[in-house]
Amino acid sequence: MSYQKLEIWKLAREIVNEIHEMSLSLPKFELYEEGSQIRKSSKAVKSTIVEGYGRRIYKAELRFLVYALGSNEETRDHLETLYETKSLTDEAFYIRLHSKVDELGKKLNNFYKSVERNHQSTL
């Protein structure tokens, strides 16, 4: 199986692409401030899932899922900041993306619990 078949990776990829596109339409000053931060944190979620998956010792590498959860929370915070400061003005986009970020957080948490319960540590 490849990490590309994981639901959490697929959803993280969708979020990265949507955030990247949205960030390019932010006011110039936000493009390099909050825009840069939200791009980095959303990409960190996706790449951390890949890194943890690539290590193949799932239970021993649960910390990567914890890192992904933390980066997902950071992404949510940046998204909320952009909306609250009116740098992001498309309310429908904000609500839809916020829901996706929430969904990813739940899926990451469930995946964490599943790995913790069902995989043996080889260490």
Domains belonging to the chain, first-starting first, are: 3-114 (1.20.1440.60)
pTM, entire model: 0.89
For residue 81, with 0-12 CB atoms within 10 Å meaning exposed, 13-18 middle and 19 or more buried, which class applies? Answer: middle
State the Cα angle at 95 between 89 and 24, rounded to 5°.
45
- Residues 50 and 77: their CA atoms lie apart, in Å, by 23
Query: What token pair was written down for 37?
Result: 């931060």
pLDDT tens, N- to C-terminus, the chain (123 residues): 788 999 999 999 999 999 999 999 999 999 889 999 999 999 999 999 998 888 766 555 688 999 999 999 999 999 999 999 999 999 999 999 999 999 999 999 999 998 888 865 544
